[in-house]
Amino acid sequence: MTSKAGRYGGTFAHKDIAFEFPSWGSVEFKLYLIKEFQRLKDDENRRLSLTWNLNRTLSKLNYRIHTDAIKVHLIPPAITPGQAAFTYATEADLLNVALFGQTAKQWRDANRTLEGNMRDHATVEQLLVLANIEGMNAEFIVMGLSSSDRLRRLNEIAIRQMKILTAAPSVSRQSRQLKNSGDKLP
């Protein structure tokens, strides 16, 4: 805190304590500051949540494209529902390994204290790349590429896209803010 006399003088305080001074004189002003701060934080969380939910929605839409490609091109007609579920899970893990470097089970084993799954804890950038590679994997399936070729290509794409997205400062800042807001996937 500093005080300066004269024409350009005044009392100056660090922003973290500046609001305390007027609130000493007025309880109403202090209540106003608290309510305004809460309103601003709620607005910020709402805006960040919309961005995050948009990426999650894109991911869900690509999921339909992806599962349709699996159903039509990878699952034979005479297969049990359990075998079909295994095929879907294997393809989901192919995407997980391409993007996150591990399967869902490996993530769960390493993160026993966290609720949800690895995608629930993904950044905005990761969700966007996931949506992208999900659509690409569907096309690779239609093209008849083997799972090892698809994994290699998808991993290269995921690495390239993550480098591009995390290099953009505004996107990275939003992702960190979103991650710190504590939102969960729907």
| Burial readout 24-34 (b: 16 or more C-beta within 10 A, e: otherwise) | eeeeeeeeeee
pLDDT at residue 85, as a whole number: 93
pLDDT in the model for residue 176: 52
pLDDT of residue 173: 52
| Alpha carbon distance 105, 107 (integer Å) | 5
**Pair 142, 69: CB distance under 8 Å:** yes
For the chain (length 186 residues), average pLDDT per consecutive 10?
83 74 75 82 75 71 87 91 93 96 96 90 88 93 96 97 85 50 43
Three-class SS of residue 168?
coil
How much is the pLDDT for 7? 86
Q: Which of 7, 138, 115 is nearest to 64 (CA)?
A: 138
pTM of the model as a whole? 0.62
Q: What is the pLDDT at residue 186?
A: 37
- Assess contact for 121 and 184: CB atoms under 8 A: no
Q: What is the pLDDT of residue 182?
A: 47
